[in-house]
Amino acid sequence: MITDKIPTDLQQTWTTVDDYINRMLVPSDAALDAAIEASAAAGLPAIAVTPSQGKLLHLLARSIGARNILEIGTLGGYSTIWMARALPAGGRIITLEFSPKHATIALANIARAGLADKVQLRQGPALDSLPRIAAENPPPFDFVFIDADKENNAGYFQWALRLTHPGSLILVDNVIRDGAVANASSRDPMVQGVRRLNKLLSKQPRVCATTIQTVGSKGYDGFTLALVLS
């Protein structure tokens, strides 16, 4: 996210409120804290979801009774841990990560959290991994979280739709881009990637979708939530 255009006082207010919400509703957790610390120590970018966003993923997965979850974009495994904790006995999450370094850190973080038996990490380009997953004919995914390179959002979403079932939820993160998503002439490939996703959603009768703008400690952004209808 681009935060240098946000007035300092606004950013401080958003961060203060985030900190307050976390103290009240998302208490400190040893495994999650360790995942963030290990990721930072390894030099991973500080772009993981915030604690309150991680808990939102957890609550959404629990609310629909998700047993099979797909994550596109693992990073250090912080969001993976949140979602894996929502799974019932026998549930599983497949998470896709392009970077070998990120995958190594994520696997260590997931194992430290005691969730290695629920998580399968596949390293490599997601657009290569997704056809392989489809060829395995797995049970449909109940919940999909897309948080990878935004340029390929539309392609990721099309695969997510193929791999889910009516009633599944698909959540795509970082879709506001500090408001740049509304700028059709933007030369930012990530912005254009989000716009391609929006164009796809606007014409896709198989989903009912909306986008929510958010502010917080990591600036101004948002997410798209889509319910699979058929």
Kind of pairing between the strands at 119-123 and 92-97: parallel
Question: Does 1 fall in a domain?
Answer: no
125 lies in which domain range? Answer: 8-228
For the CA atoms of 166, 149, 103, 165, what is the dihedral angle to 10 degrees? 10
Question: Does 189 fall in a domain?
Answer: yes
**pLDDT, tens digit (0-9, with 9 covering 90-100), for 56-111:** 999 999 999 999 999 999 999 999 999 999 999 999 999 999 999 999 999 999 99
pTM of the full structure: 0.97
Question: Does 15 fall in a domain?
Answer: yes
Question: Does 2 fall in a domain?
Answer: no
Q: Give the whole-angstrom CA distance, residue 137 versus residue 134.
A: 5
Per the structure, how many domains does the chain have? 1
Question: Does 222 fall in a domain?
Answer: yes
**pLDDT, tens digit (0-9, with 9 covering 90-100), for 131-177:** 999 999 999 999 999 999 999 999 999 999 999 999 999 999 999 99
What is the CATH number for 19? 3.40.50.150
Question: Does 139 fall in a domain?
Answer: yes
Question: Does 87 fall in a domain?
Answer: yes
The residue written with tokens 């058929």 in the block is 230
